Amino acid sequence: MTYQTTAPADGSVISVISYGKPHEGRRLPVALNMSGGARARSRIDPGRVVVSTFLDRTGEEVAGGLDLRPHEGCIVDLG
């Protein structure tokens, strides 16, 4: 399992946590925005959104990063 945090450029508290663990031969990282503000570009390899906590991004293509809304979490299928 791997973990990653993303520190905002303004030096404020880290608010995005990404982690992943292989599951049945698939890579499914999870990105969580723990803040009340939008956080751009959680670093995730290209893939497709499996599910978002807002339930409106299923199938959305991810290409090198994922923009997260306030308090949003996403699971991404990297294949």
- CATH number among 3.20.20.70, 2.60.40.1180, 3.40.50.280, 1.10.3720.10, domain 2-77: 2.60.40.1180
Separation between Cα atoms, residue 38 and residue 28, nearest integer Å: 22
pLDDT tens string 18-73 = 888 788 888 899 999 988 888 766 778 899 999 999 999 999 999 978 899 999 99
Task: Indicate the residue type of 75.
Answer: I
What pTM does this model have?
A: 0.80
Structure tokens at 25: 């031969």
| pLDDT at position 69 | 94
Residues 35 and 71 sit within 8 Å (Cβ to Cβ): yes
Q: Is the pLDDT of residue 1 over 60?
A: no
Query: How are beta strands 22-23 and 39-42 bridged, if at all?
Result: unpaired
